[in-house]
Amino acid sequence: MKELCFATNNAHKVTEVQAKVGSEFSIKTLNELGCTADIPETADTLEGNALQKARYLWDHYHCNCFADDTGLEVEALNGAPGVHTARYAGESKDNNANMAKLLAALEGQSNRKACFRTVIALIEDGKEILFEGKVEGIITTEKSGAEGFGYDPVFQPEGYDKTFAELPLSVKNSISHRGRAVEKLIAYLKKQ
């Protein structure tokens, strides 16, 4: 069984990825690796942040690893919050404050088009490869649903009449930005 380190301690992400890779790979978290550092995310792009986190693991632990970064890009806000998605309303990473700020910024806007984009950076034997997943949709006018996390209660994916927070997790994972990026990662790994 191949082992890959995932630069996260987010249990939601780990469960989602492990379910998709099956028994061919063992996914280790930062905790399991013994990494307690607050890995920097100071790049100005999603690609840069994902690479920064993966390179940190490669440089310090010399293990095959991957890292991701996700951004919500709203057309009417010129792509904001983008790389600042988690900290849109401040360093506390408060989901409710982030959603409140976003809804306030879009008040009265007819263009509510948005997309979620995830970039995964893989470093395998020193070789760096990027994978991207994207889902188009709109920002709703109010929060709806109790599932998921982050901006899920205000993001309605294209082709659905429910927000990510109202959809069953299995549906969300099959169409989500992260799910799509992970599928590309897995397809690549299984070809190796």
Q: Return d(Cα 98, Cα 153) in angstroms, integer.
A: 11
Sign of the alpha-carbon dihedral angle for 59, 1, 14, 140: positive
Residues sharing a CB contact under 8 Å with residue 34, sequence separation 6 or more, in sequence order: none
Q: Where are the alpha helices (DSSP H) in 106-176?
A: 169-175
Q: What kind and span of H or E run contains 171?
A: helix 169-175
Q: CB neighbours (10 Å) of residue 99?
A: 22
Assess contact for 179 and 139: CB atoms under 8 A: no
Q: What kind and span of H or E run contains 156?
A: strand 155-157
Residue 69 annotated among the catalytic residues of the structure: yes
**Could you say which of 38, 59, 68, 69 is catalytic?**
69
Residue type present at position 75: E
Give the residue numbers annotated as catalytic, written as ranges: 69
